[in-house]
Amino acid sequence: MKKIITSMRILAVVIFICLASLSVIGQGEAERAKKISEQNAEVVRNFEPKLLLENFLTLTKIPRCSNDEAAVADIIFDLATSNGLVVVKDMSNNLVVYLPATAGFESLPSICLQAHMDMVCDKNPGVESIFPIKLIRNGDELSANGTTLGGDDGLGVAALMSLISGKSGIKHGPLELVLTTREEVGLEGVKAFNCSLLHSKKMFNLDFEKEGVLTIGCAGGGVMRLIMKTPMNDVAGVFYPYKISLSGLNGGHS
């Protein structure tokens, strides 16, 4: 019995040490996140449009890789409900926010605006974590330090958040704001979306490459898989296999 009690005491001490270590790690993470948030706020200071960037700063703090959009969907859901708006969230975390027309614009036809909440998550070797995203400003351009920026489609989402917040001052007719999930992995969120939630006859997708450019076309996407059969030959003699890799290039997904 004494042995059992001693073992239990040792186990209790081990659990205590583990919990204490986790708490220290958690504190370190929180401090790191706070520091990056402060630096990001400094990076976008005096940068316009302020409201859009304020919402984008919020998005830099929230993990939102494809298949992990629950947190960002919850934040936008809460933003909508706290502003008294009707919002629907489906099983795939897609959102529809119904934004009534501003005074005097009630007779305009309803328009649907859409953006996707997920982003491509990638980081350079040696970078500890993607979130919070560290912003860098170069003139009029924002980029991220060692990770993807999430500008695709974070800026579209930030624009919709600006409308939802009611602070944009933009006058508009009735709007249906659609925020979808798992776009970057094959438009999976929208495939699960119930289109009968929408009544608009026109939709604008806020996910184009260039600012100020509007593309008119059909919505959708396709995946093509090409398989090529290559003839293989046995080789005689002694050969050494090499694996060739290429890295350190500029570019990548925003």
Of residues 69 and 153, the one with the C-beta less far from Zn ion: 153
Minimum Å gap between C-beta 115 and Zn ion is 8
183 is catalytic: yes
Q: How many CA atoms lie less than 13 Å away from 80 in the CB half-sphere?
A: 23
Are residues 113 and 95 in contact, defined by beta-carbon separation less than 8 angstroms? no
Q: How far apart are CA 174 and CA 102, in angstroms?
A: 8
Helix (H) or strand (E) holding 138: strand 135-138
Give 64: exposed, middle or buried? Use CB within 10 Å, 0-12, 13-18, 19+.
Answer: buried
Minimum Å gap between C-beta 122 and Zn ion is 14
Helix (H) or strand (E) holding 20: helix 2-43
Q: How far apart are CA 207 and CA 223, in angstroms?
A: 18
Minimum Å gap between C-beta 152 and Zn ion is 4
Are residues 171 and 99 in contact, defined by beta-carbon separation less than 8 angstroms? no
Of residues 152 and 176, the one with the C-beta less far from Zn ion: 152
Of residues 36 and 65, the one with the C-beta less far from Zn ion: 65
Which of 152, 153, 183, 184 is catalytic? The answer is: 183
Query: Which positions lie near Zn ion, rule CB under 5 A?
Result: 152-153, 207
- DSSP letters, 152-206, are HHHHHHHHHHHHHHT-S----S-EEEEEES--TTTSHHHHT--GGG---SEEEE-
Of residues 217 and 241, the one with the C-beta less far from Zn ion: 217
Are residues 131 and 114 in contact, defined by beta-carbon separation less than 8 angstroms? no
Minimum Å gap between C-beta 26 and Zn ion is 33
- Region of 110 (left: φ > 0; alpha: ψ -120 to 50; beta: rest) is beta
Of residues 200 and 205, the one with the C-beta less far from Zn ion: 205
Minimum Å gap between C-beta 205 and Zn ion is 9
Which of 69, 118, 153, 184 is catalytic? The answer is: 118
Active-site annotation, residues: 118, 183
